[in-house]
Amino acid sequence: MSSRIHALDPDGSVTANGRDDAITDYAAGNLSPAKHAIMSCVVELNPRAAKKAAFETNVAATLMSEIRPVPLSPLFIGETLAKLPSREPMDVAANDDPRDRLAPKPLRDLMGGQGLRDIEWKSLVPGVAVHDVLGNRRTRDGDRLYLLRAKGGVSMPEHSHRGEEWTLILSGSYLANDRVYARGDLHIEDENTEHAPQIAEGEDCICLVMTQGPLKMKSWLPRIVQQVVGI
Amino acid sequence: MTTKQTPRSGGFTPSKKSVSAAKRDAAWLDSIANKQDARALSELFEVYGPKLKGWLMARGVGNGTAEDIVQDVMIKVWTSAHMFDPAKASFATWVYRMTRNKWIDHQRKHGRMDVRDPELMKVIADDEVPSAEEDFMTQQSTDILREHIARLTEAQQMAIRMAFLEFKTHKQISAETGLPLGTVKTRIRSAINALKTSMARHQEKLL
């Protein structure tokens, strides 16, 4: 079966094969939390995607005026005013260490403000490790969000999945089905495709990955390990 | 639904109403940022609170939760009013984006099968401030955008309404309408592109 590959096009469409629908669903607030998190990071890393998202967010905000307003309860404003914190100058530096910039801000926020230094990696197969971002457990929608780190030169275990797989490349690069993916690229694989990305020599490749349902590993070793690390 | 309108020769002029609404919002935001003016915040949310609550409830959020989310947004507007730049965005878009992101946060925190360590939950992503996406549309343009939406074909309007007002993903729209997924994508894409072209043309006219 030929695998359908989607990636950021040089002309700025976020994904080839018409996957700009991800931007519309993002702007409208229709994505699951894991996918929304990935798109927030894509938007930070890719100015063209950001521009598209901004336009469609304007469309969404404009259409909001067509929805019937619902009055707030009488005590709402008063109760909220009572809860207002005193405003202190924000400590920008605390969440903006240059060494942490490898991780886009929405990802750092999800990880309690930390960057990718000092995080705990769990080994999947030699050269490949994972770190759960949304806490190593399924969300109700079945999505999992995790970081994946692969050493330069390794091949990822060949796998397919039951649902979609969204991969945002944060560092390094890999080759999958004759296409190179690098920082800021969003790679979406449909269900029922098999692929085995080849990590480029040199730098570690770190990706933010969303998968729906467990991966289907082709060989027995990763199959066993994945049960332990839970992807 | 009005789909066919008499074509007009000139561009649209923003109504006085929306220009003054934008000025009014900007003045309130400025007052909040520079004078810690709680009354300005109240007035702002007398206007926008019911709209945001309506949007959340249209998504199926219950009354109480919708108010909790609007309250979070109101507090967020209070603490980050200094980051609002009327040259870059209308307040409507800015506050919409905050509400959307709070709604996603809410789903993330409450959509789990089991609850996480409360300590970690406390520090998680509480400070989403729209920044990466810069708007190039002001409040006046919002009026014009609305006009252009009304001029889309019926099929295009239906598709973007299902996405933005019924909150359906492309797949859900396809399942519901029986249209192939590719057709849904094409309709939404062509609608967005038509709007972009119209808005670009409008902006050229201003230059």
Report whether B111 contacts A145 (CB < 8 A).
no
Residue B3 has what DSSP assignment?
A: -
Q: Tens of pLDDT along A6-64? A: 344 433 344 433 468 899 999 999 999 999 999 999 999 988 888 889 999 999 999 99
Q: How far apart are CA B120 and CA A149, in angstroms?
A: 23
Task: Select the residue from B91, B100, B188 to test the A interface by mutation, using most A Cβ atoms within 10 A.
Answer: B100
Q: Phi and psi of A218, rounded to 5°?
A: -80, -35
Closest residue in A to B41 (Cα–Cα):
A81
Helix, strand, or coil (residue B79): helix
Query: Positive or negative CA dihedral for B96, B98, B99, B100?
Result: positive
Quick one: what percent of chain A has pLDDT higher than 70? Answer: 74
Q: How far apart are CA B42 and CA B40, in angstroms?
A: 5
Residue A152 has what DSSP assignment?
A: T
If contacts are CB pairs under 8 Å, which of residues 133-162 in chain A contact chain B?
Answer: 134-135, 137-141
pLDDT per residue rounded down to tens, chain B (207 residues): 444 444 444 444 555 666 688 889 999 999 999 999 999 999 999 999 999 999 999 999 999 999 999 999 999 999 999 999 988 888 999 999 999 999 999 988 876 433 333 333 333 333 344 443 444 455 567 788 888 999 999 999 999 999 999 999 998 999 999 999 889 999 999 999 999 888 888 777 665
Considering only CB atoms, B53 lies closest to which of A72, A106, A137, namely A72
What does the pLDDT read at residue B5? Answer: 45
- DSSP alpha helix (H) spans, chain A: 21-28, 33-45, 47-64, 76-83, 105-110, 220-229
Q: Does B85 touch chain A if contact means CB atoms closer than 8 Å?
A: no
CB contact under 8 A, B54 and A68: yes
Q: Does B173 touch chain A if contact means CB atoms closer than 8 Å?
A: no
Q: How far apart are CA A189 and CA A211, in angstroms?
A: 10
Q: How far apart are CA B43 and CA A81, in angstroms?
A: 12
Q: How far apart are CA B195 and CA B185, in angstroms?
A: 15
Q: How far apart are CA B143 and CA B162, in angstroms?
A: 21
Question: Which tokens in the block code for residue A206?
Answer: 């770190």
CB contact under 8 A, B112 and A113: no
Q: How far apart are CA B126 and CA A224, in angstroms?
A: 37
The pTM assigned to this predicted structure is 0.80
Rounded to a whole number of angstroms, the distance from the CA of B156 to the nearest CA of chain A is 13
If contacts are CB pairs under 8 Å, which of residues 104-133 in chain B contact chain A?
Answer: 104-105, 107-108, 111-114, 116, 120, 123-128, 132-133
Rounded to a whole number of angstroms, the distance from the CA of B9 to the nearest CA of chain A is 24
Name the pairing type of β-strands A179-182 and A128-132. unpaired
Closest residue in B to A41 (Cα–Cα):
B132
CB contact under 8 A, B78 and A25: no
Residue A95 has pLDDT above 80, yes or no: no
Q: How far apart are CA B114 and CA B106, in angstroms?
A: 15
Q: Does B202 touch chain A if contact means CB atoms closer than 8 Å?
A: no
The terminus-to-terminus CA distance of chain B in angstroms comes to 33
Q: How far apart are CA A9 and CA A12, in angstroms?
A: 5
Residues of chain A with Cβ-Cβ distance to B36 below 8 Å are 87
Rounded to a whole number of angstroms, the distance from the CA of B45 to the nearest CA of chain A is 8
Average pLDDT for A214-220 = 63
Residues of chain B with Cβ-Cβ distance to A54 below 8 Å are 133-137
Q: Does A67 touch chain B if contact means CB atoms closer than 8 Å?
A: yes
Closest residue in A to B168 (Cα–Cα):
A30
Write the ipTM.
Answer: 0.83
